[in-house]
Amino acid sequence: MFGAIRKESGGTRGASLPNPDEARKTFTWEVAEQMLDGLPGGHLNIAHEAVDRHVAQGHGDQVAIRWLGKSEHHHDITYAELAERTARFANVLMENGLERGDSVFALMGRVPDLYVAALGTLKAGLVFTPLFSAFGPEPIRTRMEIGAAKALVTTETLYRRKIAKWRDEIPSLKLVLIVGEEAPEGCVALDLAMAAEPPDFEIARTLPEDPALIHFTSGTTGRPKGAVHVHKAVLYHAVSGRYALELTPGTIYWCTADPGWVTGTSYGIISPLVNRVTMIVDEAEFDLDRWYSTIQREKVEVWYSAPTAIRMMMRAGDAAAKPYDFSSLRFLASVGEPLNPEAVVWSNRVFGRPFHDNWWQTETGGIMIANLAAQEVRPGSMGKPMPGIEAGIVERTETGLKELGDGEIGELALRPGWPSMMRTYLHEQARYDKCFVDGWYLSGDLAMRDKDGYYWFVGRADDLIKSSGHLVGPFEVESALIEHEAVAEAGVIGVPDETAGEVIKAYVTLNPGFTPGEELEREIRGHARKKLGPAVAPREIVFRNTLPKTRSGKIMRRLLKARELGLPEGDISTLETDET
Amino acid sequence: MTQEQMKSAFLEELTKVAPDLEIGAIGDDDHIQDDLELDSMDVLNLVAALHARLGIDIPEADYVRIATPALAADYLVGKLAA
């Protein structure tokens, strides 16, 4: 057991919510709206709230983004420069014939143009979708097809490696912008195009309910789902950044998440800029000394990271952290998957502050349940619902939903209506509707609430896999595997891993004429990595003669997993053919 | 073990972790993350594989020293001799 980390001594001082329990009772959305400016006539645009209004209010010289390149190169972008560059970007979109509501995709690493593209797209009234640059060609293509991408912003390397071959097969795609001053045939060089455009742009008068962002997330079956978020979401980005992450104007803030995932957009672009912080953006991947040096040199005050990285730091041990000065840190938060209690306690010892775990999903658009600065931290718990958010633990019954009491395990559910809630799954209203029962949004996560109102994650209610904080749908992985000529069938599960939370493991059966072996295992894994990228491809493949299946022919992943973990097999009444 | 032998051993383990890569197509100065697109879990698996094969412990702080085949061969030969 790990004791609670109390906050009497200094932790609550200066907290945005000095008394969270009281704030939960008195919170109203009307008061929260005072954090935003809005546009005349009831219009609302995220880019205005995040950038332009700060310039208008005299903060143009403040650094918005301190960009740390992979090499030693550092580069500051002020709010005024960001306003100008996003205006030029918006002009480029218009100049190329794009229209309000069109879909703009970005595929690139954490370079300044990514941030300009996101905010410039919103400024122009178009809809932005970030993709993870380590995705293989297949997940990229699927998402661009579903989202009917009109424009893509990417780099020359990524374009040649992952896009060029099939670019002409996406009929909706009109414009490919390439970062830099040169572009392959049929593409436009972004730097040149932006230089040719004026530095101002009349911001699109979007309505609060106009679509702004589409984030793709995985389903257990079928294709990835595009969760649609609207401009009104910015209200929740403002509020939750302030209360759950302690983002106040001028704060030096580092979110380590990539904007290819929802955290990197909600809390790596929008929320921090709306709260007028100075964001640290590091182009490089995790590197222990680089990270510790960054905190020390940049005097990072608020740090939002993820369990996989935190566990890697922990493995390196206390001694590796010893030479560094972490005294600038005032608040640490973690998201992506549950943070194990050992890591919470470890961080409190090494950094002098604990990581505050919080919970949310692509669909919720923002942090729903959190350990707040002025609230006792119970290591291993995701905390309590945010002000304005009503959560519950429910059970699906034949007649509807039953709310469960403290200490009972059930599905974590939320009362719909907060501003950053998804408004639909793109072209999939039926799948969207299925998320709501009896006035609750069902998260698909199993959890328990203790008698003091803290929530504790228990597991997923479905077959989705959480690897290094990324939600991976087994179906997408299985589909790529069976495209290999040797593979007849595939079942994909997540197996526990002390660093990544879960890693992806595949069970496959082979077509006649193929023999299991190390070489074939590697060949299939290589095939999957090429199609899916390293984050989504299985790390391990095992061969079976048959897979456990139901009468309707569905592979029982649940059974594969129970056996892998040595757990009870549960109800196997629908099992028709078993694993051999 | 010579530099060349060490490089081959490194490349063999690298392509076991990331079988989408072909040994012949990997340059000596290719960065395993930036150019060859390994992610951080791949790097951990590579470190574990090198440990199993060579008995060499690579602490986190030294991961930058195996970032390319050329760097790794230097570093690992040095570690083995130490």
Nearest to B39 among A134, A289, A316 (CB): A134
Calculate the alpha carbon distances from A469 to A262, A385, A464, A578, B13 in Å: 11, 21, 12, 32, 26
- What torsion do the CA atoms of A457, A459, A464, A467 make, to the nearest 10 degrees? 70
What CATH number does the domain containing B68 carry?
A: 1.10.1200.10
Contact residues, chain A, for B15 at CB < 8 Å: 522
Separation of alpha carbons A397 and A409, rounded Å: 14
The dihedral of CA B76, B77, B81, B82: what is its sign? negative
B41, A287: Cβ pair inside 8 Å? no
B60, A312: Cβ pair inside 8 Å? yes
Whether residue B49 lies within 8 A of chain A, CB to CB, comes out as: no
Structural domains in chain A?
20-446 (3.40.50.12780), 465-577 (3.30.300.30)
CB A376 within 8 A of CB A370: no
Name residue, tokens 């932790």. Answer: A11
Query: Residue B46's closest chain A neighbor by CA?
Result: A539
A529, B39: Cβ pair inside 8 Å? no
Contact residues, chain A, for B18 at CB < 8 Å: 526, 529, 534
CB A234 within 8 A of CB A240: no
pLDDT at A3: 86
Q: What is the pLDDT along chain A (580 residues), one digit of tens a residue?
A: 688 998 865 555 689 999 999 999 999 999 999 999 999 999 999 999 999 999 999 999 999 999 999 987 899 999 999 999 999 999 999 999 999 999 999 999 999 999 999 999 999 999 999 999 989 999 999 999 999 999 999 999 999 999 999 999 999 999 999 999 999 999 999 999 999 999 999 999 999 999 999 999 987 777 899 999 999 999 999 999 999 999 999 999 999 999 998 999 999 999 999 999 999 999 998 999 999 999 999 999 999 999 989 988 998 899 999 999 999 999 999 998 889 899 999 999 999 999 999 999 999 999 999 999 999 999 999 999 999 999 999 998 888 899 999 999 899 999 999 999 999 999 999 999 999 999 999 999 999 999 999 999 988 888 889 898 888 888 889 989 988 999 988 999 999 998 898 999 999 999 989 999 999 999 999 999 999 999 999 999 999 998 998 776 778 888 898 888 888 777 776 677 788 8
Q: What's A157-211 look like in SS3? A: HHHHHHHCCCHHHCCCCCEEEECCCCCCCCCEEHHHHHHCCCCCCCCCCCCCCCE
**What is the distance in angstroms between the Cα of A323 and the nearest Cα belonging to chain B?**
13
Separation of alpha carbons A86 and A122, rounded Å: 9
The dihedral of CA A380, A384, A385, A386: what is its sign? negative
A529, B38: Cβ pair inside 8 Å? no
Separation of alpha carbons A184 and A357, rounded Å: 44
The pair of three-digit structure tokens given for residue A256, joined into one six-digit string: 């380590």
Contacts 24+ apart (CB under 8 A), A211-214: A211/A101, A211/A127, A211/A423, A212/A46, A212/A122, A212/A127, A212/A128, A213/A122, A213/A127, A213/A128, A213/A129, A213/A265, A214/A103, A214/A127, A214/A128, A214/A129, A214/A147, A214/A426
Separation of alpha carbons A529 and A546, rounded Å: 24
Nearest to B60 among A288, A526, A539 (CB): A288
Contacts of B70 (CB under 8 A, 6+ apart): B7, B28, B29
Nearest to B19 among A467, A522, A535 (CB): A522
In chain B, the number of structural domains is 1
pLDDT at A11: 53
DSSP SS3 for A289: helix
Task: Please classify residue A519 by burial: count the beta carbons closer than 10 Å to its beta carbon, then call 0-12 exposed, 13-18 middle and 19+ buried.
Answer: exposed
Contact residues, chain B, for A70 at CB < 8 Å: 34
CB A140 within 8 A of CB A164: no
B40, A522: Cβ pair inside 8 Å? no
| Conformation bin of residue A221: beta by default, left when phi > 0, alpha when psi is -120 to 50 | beta
Say if the ipTM goes beyond 0.90: no
pLDDT digits (tens, 9 = 90+) for A406-431: 999 899 999 999 999 999 999 999 99
Query: Residue B64's closest chain A neighbor by CA?
Result: A287
The pair of three-digit structure tokens given for residue A185, joined into one six-digit string: 């045939």
**What is the distance in angstroms between the Cα of A526 and the nearest Cα belonging to chain B?**
4
A526, B18: Cβ pair inside 8 Å? yes
**What is the distance in angstroms between the Cα of A270 and the nearest Cα belonging to chain B?**
26
CB B19 within 8 A of CB B27: no
Q: Domain residues for B13?
A: 3-81
Give the strand pairing for A409-414 and A440-449. Answer: antiparallel
Give the strand pairing for A175-178 and A151-154. Answer: parallel
Whether residue B60 lies within 8 A of chain A, CB to CB, comes out as: yes
**What is the distance in angstroms between the Cα of A525 and the nearest Cα belonging to chain B?**
6
Whether residue B63 lies within 8 A of chain A, CB to CB, comes out as: yes
Give the strand pairing for A278-282 and A424-425. Answer: unpaired
Query: Residue A523's closest chain B neighbor by CA?
Result: B19
pLDDT at A529: 96
A316, B61: Cβ pair inside 8 Å? yes
The number of residues making up chain B comes to 82
Neighbours of A482 (CB within 10 A): 15
Query: Residue A532's closest chain B neighbor by CA?
Result: B20
Contact residues, chain B, for A134 at CB < 8 Å: 37, 39
**What is the distance in angstroms between the Cα of A215 and the nearest Cα belonging to chain B?**
22
Nearest to A287 among B15, B16, B63 (CB): B63
The pair of three-digit structure tokens given for residue A408, joined into one six-digit string: 């009972």
